[in-house]
Amino acid sequence: MRTFLNTLFLFTSALALANEANHHWPQWRGPTWNGVSPEGDPPITWSETENLAWKTPIPGSGWSTPIIWGDRVFIHTAIPLDEKLPVPDVIPSGTPNIRKHPAVASSWKAQRLAVICLDGTSGKTLWNKTVFEGMPHQGHHRKGGFASESPVTDGKHVYSYFGSFGLFCHDYEGRLVWKKDFQAQAMEDALGEGTSPVLHGDKLIIVVDHELQSFVVAIDKHTGNEIWKTHRDEVSNWTTPRIYRYDGQDRIVINGSSVCAYDLNTGRFLWKCGGQSLSAIPMPAVGHGLAFAASGWRKDTVHAIRLGQMGDLTDSKSIAWSLDRGAPYVPCPMLWGDELYLLEDSSFFSCVRANDGHRYYFKHRLPDNPNFSASPVGASNRIYLLSESGRTLVLKRGKEPTLLAINELKGRFHASPAIVGNSIYIRSETDLYQFTK
């Protein structure tokens, strides 16, 4: 009877999630945490004129994914100001690994950081709320920005995390409900920040991995108060936590030099698996009783880690399979059914069987050698790969890399798309597009 009830609960929960997923893209990686819209059916082709519902200029720049709930669309942006202010001296002297990376600008302007809400039907801006105005204490990578974190919403409030500049809760009319300050983060090589919050029940989960004391924290979504905080033995990462459920308990898995899991309700450490590269960015995927973690800085690593074990799982039988090639550095792995898709930054795309790593196709070179920062998204048995130059490759989902279309837009594109119903939302450095059948 217990097994039957658990199966019934999972089945009905999946149905409810699939129904809700057709109307919303509430957080980074969407309603199912893996970049897939279960009942979405966006267009296969588009251009500046074809299948364009609207195009709205966005002041400033930012690489947050557009978040959609019903007829509301939320994004973050950073608007440069003309003021030349001194850089705040907030990082303790002697902090290791704090130097300027060659890809970081030697100087930057003061910024106005803002949350923008748009009407999903017309693209009209409904409100634009400033959350910070001043001089950032460190710069960012040329592919990053001061507004790279994506918001998250529960349909009543939108929660916006801007790293060192704080966490903010607004209602749907743009009224500030609460805010919470965070310490100034000391990122390696001053490369900037970029992890997004995730929401589960009443808890917002945020990971802060930097060159000082790293931690993961749970915040009460109603008040902004801290529920628990757990220190992490990690340095700078740019990854977003992933919530999963195992054996009736909600848990968190976080990528890093060691992949680590924590109890969602208490923050208690559960397990870790070492062997990843430094500077982890991709959010893990979870399914088939496995956590899939990828990292691609200086060495390629993909681990499929069996859930249910405790303690240090490094080099143990808890690793179901692994790869030392084909790992993404920035884009997230996308789990779709029994297929795990891996998009490398430098134009290679792979599909492996999730439960054992069998290669359906591996390091397939995509046309014209595009570069990628955006993560793959999927719907209606199609995979959408948005390159940094604005070219979207549409592939048929499956065990062979079948190309269906290539769509061209102009500009720079680092934000991941979002899919809701018959629409796909694509953000460039200067504009937000909605393409609809």
DSSP code of residue 120: T
Residues linked to residue 53 through DSSP beta bridges, in sequence order:
none
Q: What is the pLDDT of residue 395?
A: 99
Q: What is the pLDDT of residue 86?
A: 66
Give phi and psi for 346, each to the nearest 5.
Answer: -105, 50
The predicted model gives 309-318 an average pLDDT of: 90
* Rg (alpha carbons) of the chain, rounded to whole number: 20
Q: What is the pLDDT of residue 277?
A: 77
The predicted model gives 29-57 an average pLDDT of: 97
Residues linked to residue 377 through DSSP beta bridges, in sequence order:
384
**How many structural domains compose the chain?**
1
- For every residue of 233-281, DSSP letters joined together read S--------EEEEETTEEEEEE-SSSEEEEETTT--EEEEE--PPSS--
Is 217 within 8 Å of 226 (Cβ atoms)? yes
Q: Which residue has the higher pLDDT, 13 or 320?
A: 320
- For every residue of 354-375, DSSP letters joined together read TTT--EEEEEEEPTT-----SP
Structure tokens that stand for 239 in this block = 């990854």
In the predicted model, is pLDDT for residue 100 greater than 70?
Answer: no
What's the predicted TM-score (pTM) here?
0.91
In the predicted model, is pLDDT for residue 5 greater than 50?
Answer: no
In the predicted model, is pLDDT for residue 356 greater than 90?
Answer: yes
Give phi and psi for 11, each to the nearest 5.
Answer: -65, -50
Domain carrying residue 133: 2-90+97-436
Q: What is the pLDDT of residue 146?
A: 80
Q: What is the pLDDT of residue 182?
A: 84
In the predicted model, is pLDDT for residue 98 greater than 90?
Answer: no
Is 284 within 8 Å of 300 (Cβ atoms)? no
Q: What is the pLDDT of residue 168?
A: 98
> Among 52-56, 113-117, 125-129, 190-194, where is mean pLDDT lowest?
190-194
Q: Which residue has the higher pLDDT, 16 or 183?
A: 183
> Distance (Å, rounded) from C-alpha 293 to C-alpha 301?
8
* Amino acid (1-letter code) at residue 182: F
The predicted model gives 133-139 an average pLDDT of: 78
**Mind listing the pLDDT tens digit for each residue in 405-414?**
999 999 999 9
Q: Which residue has the higher pLDDT, 14 or 415?
A: 415
CATH for 418: 2.130.10.10
**Where are the strands (E) in 337-420, listed by range?**
339-343, 348-353, 359-365, 377-379, 382-386, 391-396, 402-408, 418-420
Residues linked to residue 217 through DSSP beta bridges, in sequence order:
206, 229
Question: pLDDT tier at 2 (50, 70, 90 boundaries)?
Answer: very low
Rounded to the nearest integer, the mean pLDDT of the chain is 89
**Mind listing the pLDDT tens digit for each residue in 146-167?**
889 999 999 999 999 998 889 9
In the predicted model, is pLDDT for residue 206 greater than 90?
Answer: yes
In the predicted model, is pLDDT for residue 341 greater than 50?
Answer: yes
Contacts of 223 (CB under 8 A, 6+ apart): 178
**Mind listing the pLDDT tens digit for each residue in 211-250?**
788 899 999 999 999 999 999 988 777 899 999 999 999 9
- From first CA to last CA, the distance across the chain in angstroms is 45
**Mind listing the pLDDT tens digit for each residue in 57-74?**
999 989 999 999 999 999
> Distance (Å, rounded) from C-alpha 181 to C-alpha 165?
7
In the predicted model, is pLDDT for residue 21 greater than 60?
Answer: no
